[in-house]
Structure 1
Amino acid sequence: MMWHIQTSARTMMRLTAFLIANLVLFLISAVSVAAQETVIQVNAAEWPPYTKPGLKHQGVIARIIREAFLESGYRSELNFRPWKRALIEGQQGKVDAVSFSVRSPEREAIFLYSDQLFSMTRYFYHLKNKPFDWQELSDLEGKTIGIDLGFSYRPELEEMAQNGLITLLEGRHARNSLQRLLTGRIDLFAMSRDYPEYVLKTEFSPEEANQITYHPTPFEEPEFFLLFGKVNPRATEYRDAFNRGLAVLRQSGRFEQYFEESRRGDYLPDK
């Protein structure tokens, strides 16, 4: 009788362990399936070569965003909106994330920020036949400088404009500012190399593009982040998932690989 009881007890323990193990596997599988079924909605403005419909992978940053989420088991898709609308929908929780923005006190009150997505080094573009040199901000006095609408720049630049030392002229697109540079309406255009180089390559003739160059002294190097509206109860979950995937892309070398491909022109529509 005692042997029968001990055997039954061992059998029950094995059965219990088996059931617990299968329950754990089921829960892990259920969480994984739930993550895969979740499609994270990301608003993005058109800022080539980073994000733009029609480019391969919709641009280099669009590819990085999608693959970072995939590394953590989430699918995502980009919705292209005008920048202000993209930001408002993110703030209201109508979408899960917004690509991409610098830090600001106003936005930090509304959004969670990812780890640094990327940084861009900005330079001053000018005409080759109008030599330009600068080392200090005072060297910019008297200049009319083109800036892109919706971008944030060093506060000192706006202070100089407010004090009448320089003139800032906003353009809705890099194309507008580069055209103004060619026609002499502005002296300089402040922007990272990726953006105007893409526009010069795709929207200007080789003769026009060859008239424009940039000064090698960097003006600033802002950092950009993916934003997650705090109103979304899953904002922290999505932010952390993105950060994990982004780290994998960096460590594997794919992050730099994708930027190199983009700069080679591999993501242009005719490729």
Structure 2
Amino acid sequence: MKLLGKILLYAVFCALFAAPARAQQTLVIATNHYPPYVTANDENSFLIDLFDEIGPKMDVRFEFRFYPWKRCEQEVSNTTAWGAIPYRKTPERQKAFLFSDALYLADSHFFAYRADGQKPDITFDSLADLRPYRIGGIQGYYYEPWFKDAGLDVEYAHSEEQNFRRLQLGRIDLFSTATTLGWYMIEKLFPPEEVAKFYTLKKPLVQGDGLFLMTSKDYPQTHILLEKFNKALATIKADGTYARLVHKHGLVLTF
């Protein structure tokens, strides 16, 4: 009995003083359908794949929630989400949020469509030069204040798909989005004979600009988390993992 008593006492001691296992932290990321960078199908999402590699190096788990773009920004402002992807830096956003190192570098062009197959180049030195044209846009995108300041005639919609369909129907004249994304969507939405009638203006709206993780300045320990995130991202870029994911998703290595 003495031996049994010692065993039981030892078991109680271990139960009382053993350190509880630390639960892995979950970080919510707000996003929207933005192929091939983000889609609801994880297997076709470059950035979700990238975050799956970053998470273990940070010892966190990422949870992705899909919202309209304006709601994504609001979720970060409210600290309901740690961050939102993919976002471009603007002076207005940099006053309110923090940004990671670049997740990807992506040009954005204006897309145009001509039913007769002709592709006249529309030139502009400043955005104000595009005032004669009907511009398509998406609510919550970085260019909203730019277009407003330039006095452009803009009709906003909720998605790239809506804008490309309006462009093809002649309801708008121009629509700007990330160039890779634009061609991806056009080839998904239209038959080859229609795809051939789309084109981009030669001058980009933005060139070599980054897509970033945007985080709240008020989220608990956000500076520490962002530092860990950037360190993990740098490791993945250095060890070849980043290049593998870029090629897997048919993108161009820009770093």
With the length of structure 1 as denominator, give the TM-score of the two structures: 0.73
Offset of residue 244 of structure 1: 0.7
1:132 alignment counterpart: 121
- Residue 222 of structure 2 is aligned with which of 225, 235, 246? 235
Q: Cα RMSD over matched residues?
A: 2.6
Would the alpha carbon gap of residues 141 and 50 (structure 1) be closer, same or farther in structure 2, given more than 3 Å must change?
Answer: same
> 2:36 maps to which residue?
49
CA distance in 2, matches of 1:81, 1:154: 18
| Counterpart code for 1:262 | H
In the alignment, structure 2 segments of 5+ residues that lack a partner are 1-18
Give the superposition deviation at 1:239: 0.8
How many residues align structurally? 227
Question: Do structure 1's residue 61 and structure 2's residue 50 form an aligned pair?
Answer: no
Match for residue 89 of structure 1 among 63, 70, 75:
75
What is the deviation of 1:139?
A: 5.0
Q: 161, 166, 169: which one pairs with 1:175?
A: 161
1:142 to 119, 132, 136: 132
Greater Cα offset, 255-264 or 119-128: 255-264
Amino acid in the other structure paired with 1:129 = Q
CA offsets, 1:115-151, max 9 Å, x none? Answer: 2222321112112424123252365341222222221
SS in 2 for 1:121: strand
- Residues in 1 aligned to 2:148 and 2:83: alpha-carbon distance in whole angstroms: 29
Matches for 1:75-224 after TM superposition, within 5 Å: 75-127=61-113, 128-134=117-123, 136-137=125-126, 140-153=130-143, 156-161=146-151, 166-221=152-207, 222-224=209-211
Percentage identity across aligned positions? 24
Amino acid at match of 1:250: K
Is the CA contact (8 Å cut-off) linking 1:43 and 1:78 kept in structure 2? yes
> Which structure carries more helix by proportion?
1
Summarize the alignment of residues 27-42 of structure 1 with structure 2, pairs less than 5 Å apart. Answer: 34=22, 37-42=24-29
Partner Cα separation in structure 2 for residue 224 and residue 151 of structure 1 = 12
C-alpha distance in 2 between matches for 1:152 and 1:87: 11
Further displaced range: 99-108 or 193-202: 99-108
Q: Greater CA radius of gyration, 1 or 2? A: 1
The structure with more strand, counted as a fraction of residues: 2
Match of 1:259 in 2: 246
3-state SS of paired residue (2:205): coil
TM-score by length of 2: 0.77
Q: Distance in 1 between matches of 2:140 and 2:250?
A: 23
Q: Partner of 2:6 in structure 1? A: none
The structural deviation recorded for 1:153 is 1.8
The unaligned stretches of length 5 or more in structure 1 are: 1-29, 265-271
Structure 2: distance between partners of 1:208 and 1:55: 29
Closer, same or farther in 2 for the Cα pair 1:69/1:197, shift >3 Å?
same
1:1-22 CA-to-partner distances (Å, cap 9, x unmatched) read: xxxxxxxxxxxxxxxxxxxxxx
Q: Secondary structure at the match of 1:120?
A: strand
For residues 101 and 27 of structure 2, what CA distance do their matches in structure 1 show? 18
Q: Offset of 1:69 from its aligned partner?
A: 2.7
Give the distance between the partners of 1:252 and 1:202, measured in 2 at CA. 33
Asked whether the 8 Å contact 1:123–1:192 carries over to 2, the reply is yes
1:27 maps to which residue? Answer: none
Distance 2:187 2:124 in 1: 28
Q: 1:257 to 1:214 in 2, by over 3 A?
A: farther
1:74 and 2:60 are equivalent in the alignment: yes
Distance in 2, matches of 1:91 and 1:140, equals 33
Say whether the 8 Å CA contact 2:123–2:203 is kept in structure 1.
yes
**Residue 10 of structure 2 corresponds to which residue in structure 1?**
none
